[in-house]
Amino acid sequence: MIKLRRSAFLKSAALAVCTAGLLVACGGGSDGGGGADDNVWSVGTEPAFPPFESVGEDGELEGFDIDLMTAIGERAGKTVEFDSLPFDGLIPALQGASIDAAISGMTITEERQATVDFSDPYFKAGLAIAVAEGNTEIATLDDLEGQRIAVQIGTTGAETANGVPDATVSTFDSAPLALQELANGNVDAVVNDAPATLDAIATGNIPGITVVGELLTEEFYGIAMPQGSENVEAVNTALAELIEDGTYAEIYRKWFDAEPPEL
């Protein structure tokens, strides 16, 4: 069911080759998004954000978001085709309608709501500060003043870090890269979604770091769609059904080994 689509970049590269006439036969295929195929939802995601979305050892996408979106598609009678995109490219892709939706641990924010529509919330999260193990100087947002902070570009973590007075903020294409910068000792802290940072620590993917203090924010993830998308209702109906019939809880337990909180 899950098929990792070529990235939009590879696709345009392939198209360019086709137009150049270097290949005799070029596949037609769905152009993904824009409703070329009514039974397919092209869904963008930035798959370096476990346990929500990542590329498994078998090369297939996996994670809470992947399972949830696939189940939503099934419930709505659609085949979901995932499209790997940079996180900060998801909203532009929705605006250009080159994808039908994006699921990527994306927080519902007022700013984003000005350009895209969101489904009902499907996950409760929040930002947390990570520091090197043994760093006792940093526990709160105020403590980050004047410090070096690494973040993932285009995220709520980046926005929060950018508001810290006198901080030096370095941005990375993915959250693991920002966390690795911290593990390497090149920055003092990372501001990132708590569940993703905790997963990186728990799995041993990023050694030598720890989460400190309280959550900085309460954030809710939503599935983003182009503004005015006709699919918002179908997505919300399917999501509500999955919550109601226990499928959502099953997926939640699989990835978080815990009962889901009230949304």
Answer for which of 106, 183, 191, 235 binds ligand ARG (CB under 6 A) is 106
Contact pattern from residue 194 through residue 223 relative to ligand ARG, giving x for each residue in contact according to CB under 6 A and a dash for the rest: -------------------------x----
> Rounded to a whole number, what is the distance in angstroms from the first to the last CA of the chain?
28
Residue 132 contacts residue 209 (beta carbons within 8 Å): yes
Closest CA to 211 of 153, 133, 146, 150: 133
Residues 6+ apart with CB under 8 A from 199: 50, 51, 205
Partners of residue 125 on adjacent β-strands: 219
Nearer to ligand ARG, 15 or 263 (CB): 263
Region of 29-37, 149-157, 209-217, 234-242 interacting with ligand ARG (CB under 6 A) = 149-157
Residue 101 makes CB contacts below 8 A (sequence gap 6+) with 41, 42, 43, 44, 69, 94, 223, 224, 225, 229, 231, 235
Among 70, 155, 171, 180, binds ligand ARG (CB under 6 A): 155
Dihedral sign for Cα atoms in the order 48, 90, 211, 202: negative
Stretch that binds ligand ARG, among 20-28, 71-79, 98-106, 182-190 (CB under 6 A): 98-106
Site map 49..88 versus ligand ARG, x via CB under 6 A: x---x---------------------------------x-
Q: Which stretch binds ligand ARG (CB under 6 A): 46-54, 135-143, 222-230, 243-251?
A: 46-54
In the list 42, 70, 84, 107, the residue contacting ligand ARG (rule: CB under 6 A) is: 107
Between 104 and 180, name the residue whose CB sits nearer to ligand ARG.
104
- CB nearer to ligand ARG: pick between 18 and 177: 177
Which of the stretches 150-158, 207-215, 235-243, 246-254 binds ligand ARG when contact is defined by CB under 6 A? 150-158
Supply angle C-alpha 54, 184, 136, rounded to 5.
105
Give min distance, CB of 104 to ligand ARG, in A: 4
35 or 92: CB nearest ligand ARG: 92
Extract long-range pairs of 107-116: CB within 8 Å, 24+ residues apart.
107/156, 107/193, 107/219, 107/220, 107/221, 107/222, 108/219, 108/220, 108/221, 108/222, 109/156, 112/224, 115/91, 115/227, 116/91, 116/224, 116/225, 116/226, 116/227
Shortest distance, position 240 Cβ to ligand ARG, whole Å? 22
d(CA 71, CA 48): 21
Contact window for ligand ARG (CB under 6 A) among 71-79, 105-113, 133-141, 160-168: 105-113
Q: Is 119 in the site for ligand ARG (CB under 6 A)?
A: no
Footprint on this chain of ligand ARG (rule: CB under 6 A)? 46, 49, 53, 87, 104-107, 152, 155-156, 175, 193, 219
